[in-house]
Amino acid sequence: MSFSNIDATEKKVVTVAVLVSAGHLMLIAYAAMFLNISVPTCQPNEKLFTEPSISKIGDLRYEVHYVAKMWNFLPKKLVLPKGATVDFYLGSNDVNHGFHINGTHVNLMAVPGVVNKATQTFRENGNYPIVCHEYCGFGHQNMNAVILVSDKVTEAVFEDSAQASESKLELSAAAKSGKELFGVKGCTACHNVDGAAGGVGPSFKGLYGRTEEMQDGVKVTADDAYITESIKEPLKKIVKGYNPVMPVLPVSDDEIKNIIEYIKSIR
């Protein structure tokens, strides 16, 4: 059957479909060539990572590894010089998360076992908030970070107080084990280590030795005995302002000691 023998209405439908498809292809080409927008592949052949990192790969060109986990983006704050181009690599340590940098075209999914990538050039000074647009659990609304672009800085750096304080300390073997357990046992789901407010449970930053007020008004010092009790019997003493939602964790006495050593290091 030739095109001339097709019903007039069907001709219009085919013509419109071809024009719309051509328009979409032109828009994709325009976005790629003039707006620097690229569509990330689903499973790029990149090495998996579990910690954030930054490296300089050229003049005003950087590679930054972002880690998403319940409920945080690491690094929490990235400072960039104006005009910097960044290759963002994104991984997840637990569940699916969204990753959108406001004011840019960077919009990725953080998927466990996968590394996604996007590239962005920051031509204007200012704050670029990072938000999670994929519901990822109880603390989803607290999952954020920020990129600061300024012509007053010359190199890209992380400004994360928790990471900075930790990097200045040489962790003991017990504290290193405790840090690993902190992630493996799911502590990251409710407790952060950067002092940020709004978490499901109290932050571990500066916790050791701090005086905490319980819901019944009793004040308790966060020492070895208190932390051990809180892990073994999490509903016995509830810190004021928080809900009794912590489960009993499957940890041994030795593991608890290592977790305490790690908490001591988070100053």
CATH number, domain containing residue 153: 2.60.40.420
- pTM of the shown model: 0.56
Do 212 and 250 fall within a single domain? yes
Do 184 and 221 fall within a single domain? yes
Q: What are 100's strand-pairing partners?
A: 107, 131
Q: Does 149 reside within a domain?
A: yes
Domains identified in the chain, total number: 3
Q: State yes or no: pLDDT of 165 exceeds 60.
A: no
Q: Does 112 reside within a domain?
A: yes
Q: Is the distance from CB of 90 to CB of 179 less than 8 angstroms? A: no
How much is the average pLDDT of 110-129? 92
Residue 29 pLDDT grade (very low, low, confident, very high; cuts 50, 70, 90): confident
Do 192 and 129 fall within a single domain? no
Distance CA 154, CA 67 (A): 24
Q: Which of 213, 82, 102, 208 is nearest to 149 (CA)?
A: 82
Q: Does 40 reside within a domain?
A: no
Do 154 and 167 fall within a single domain? no
Select from 140, 159, 178 the last residue of a domain.
Answer: 159
Q: Does 46 reside within a domain?
A: no
Per the structure, the complete domain to which residue 238 belongs is given by 163-265
List pLDDT tens digits, range 188-240: 778 878 777 667 888 888 899 999 999 999 999 999 999 999 999 999 999 99
Select from 101, 127, 159 the last residue of a domain.
Answer: 159
Select from 116, 141, 159 the last residue of a domain.
Answer: 159
